[in-house]
């Protein structure tokens, strides 16, 4: 039985998997800005705008709901 990591890895494009493995090794060795490979990468523009807007609208509602449940 495959674990989640192995199951996901077997579905990925082998070239991308190799690239990500190389980037992870580089980040491990170099540290500093090389660790940016682990940051969420998002295209600038509308998708980023809507994601931030969604957080601004939904996050306060979630926090209020958690407060009232206590």
**Residue 41 backbone phi and psi in degrees, to 5:** -100, 125
Q: Are 6 and 17 in contact (CB under 8 A)?
A: no
Tell me what pLDDT residue 16 has.
83
d(CA 5, CA 44) in angstroms, rounded, equals 29
pLDDT in tens, 11-61: 778 888 888 888 888 888 888 887 887 776 656 666 777 777 777 787 777
């Amino acid at each position: 039985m495959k674990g989640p990591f192995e199951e996901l890895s077997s579905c990925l494009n082998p070239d991308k998997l190799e690239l990500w493995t190389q980037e992870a090794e580089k980040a491990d060795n170099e540290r500093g800005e090389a660790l940016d490979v682990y940051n969420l990468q998002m295209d600038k523009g509308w998708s980023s705008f809507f994601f931030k807007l969604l957080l601004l609208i939904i996050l306060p509602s979630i926090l209020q709901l958690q407060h009232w449940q206590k």
